[in-house]
A and B are shown apart, each in its own frame.
Chain A
Amino acid sequence: GENVEQHPSTLSVQEGDSAVIKCTYSDSASNYFPWYKQELGKRPQLIIDIRSNVGEKKDQRIAVTLNKTAKHFSLHITETQPEDSAVYFCAASHAGGTSYGKLTFGQGTILTVHP
């Protein structure tokens, strides 16, 4: 089955700096890659997603890049703010075969933005 590795496990930045979180996946058939943000004691919430037919997607201060050849994708947050502090999860899935509908998550990155 799919295996998703996420790095780093913790990330500390100063307000205004950029933050980058990287994930690798094992199943070359995976074609959907969402990112979720989870604040303490809350539900995970989607912040951005990308499908395998595009290499990059941007939404204001957040961007995701995908390298299908290397099987890795990254989350980029620019001009970080204290409210960006949370746990971020990457995930991967594909709509085919015996894994149809399964979403596999990375282990999470605790991002702390210092004022």
Chain B
Amino acid sequence: NAGVTQTPKFQVLKTGQSMTLQCAQDMNHEYMSWYRQDPGMGLRLIHYSVGAGITDQGEVPNGYNVSRSTTEDFPLRLLSAAPSQTSVYFCASSKGARQPQHFGDGTRLSIL
């Protein structure tokens, strides 16, 4: 049972490039979320999904897109990378709204 798997673990991009961070879970969880973690600012919600085909914005959605075509996968797309998007990105999943979230190992992203 792999839990929540994020790829890649590390990535360096140039300003203006686009890329997709992958997230997959094998626990049949309905809820999936993307967070970014910056020093001193905790975890901030980017986008989340309450089930396949349903997504909604979190606290800091600008510059990011998501889609949820299957229960298992929840990719995060950076449309045009900016240095302000340098961060550690965590994907998480849970059975429901009031259930523990299980986090992936994170993707460390640097934008030059």
A105-B90 in contact given A43-B103, A93-B97, A100-B97 (Cβ < 8 Å): no
CA distance A42 to B98 in the complex (A): 23
Looking across the interface, which residue of chain B has its beta carbon closest to that of A49? B100
Cβ–Cβ contact A95 & B96, under 8 A: yes
| Contact residues in A for B105 (Cβ distance below 8 Å) | 42-43
A103 with B33, Cβ < 8 A, contacts A34-B101, A43-B90, A43-B104 known: yes
Whether, in the assembled complex, B75 has its beta carbon less than 8 Å from a beta carbon of chain A, the answer is no
Judge whether B43 is part of the interface by a CB distance below 8 angstroms. yes
State in angstroms the CA–CA spacing of A93 and B101 once bound together: 12
A101-B103 contact in complex given A1-B59, A107-B41, C-beta closer than 8 Å: no
The contact size tier of chain B is: 20 to 34
Interface residues of B, Cβ cutoff 8 Å to A: 31, 33, 35, 40-45, 48, 50, 56, 58-59, 90, 96-98, 100-106
Whether A20 is near chain B, meaning CB under 8 Å from some CB there, is no
Counting contact residues on chain A (CB < 8 A from B), the size range is 20 to 34
A102 touches B90 (CB 8 A): no
- Could you tell me the distance in whole angstroms from the C-beta of B51 to the nearest C-beta in chain A? 9
B100 touches A103 (CB 8 A): no
Given contacts A43-B106, A89-B43, A93-B98, contact A100 B50 (CB under 8 A): yes
Residues of B within 8 A of A34 (CB): 100-101
Residues of B within 8 A of A102 (CB): 45, 48, 56, 58
Specify which chain A residues have a CB less than 8 angstroms from the CB of B59 in the assembled complex: 1, 104
Q: Please state if B97 and A95 are interface contacts (CB–CB under 8 Å).
A: yes
Complexed CA–CA distance, A89 and B103 (Å)? 14
CB distance from B43 to the nearest CB of A (A): 4
Of all A-B residue pairs in the complex, the 8 with the closest CB atoms, nearest first, are: A95-B97, A32-B98, A43-B103, A105-B43, A46-B100, A105-B42, A107-B42, A101-B97
Contact yes or no, B103 A45, CB < 8 A: yes
A16 within 8 A of B: no
Known: A95-B96, A103-B45, A108-B42. 9 other contacts (CB 8 A): A34-B100, A43-B105, A44-B103, A93-B97, A102-B56, A104-B45, A105-B35, A105-B42, A105-B43
Pick the most buried of B40, B97, B104, B106: most chain A CB atoms within 10 A of its CB: B97
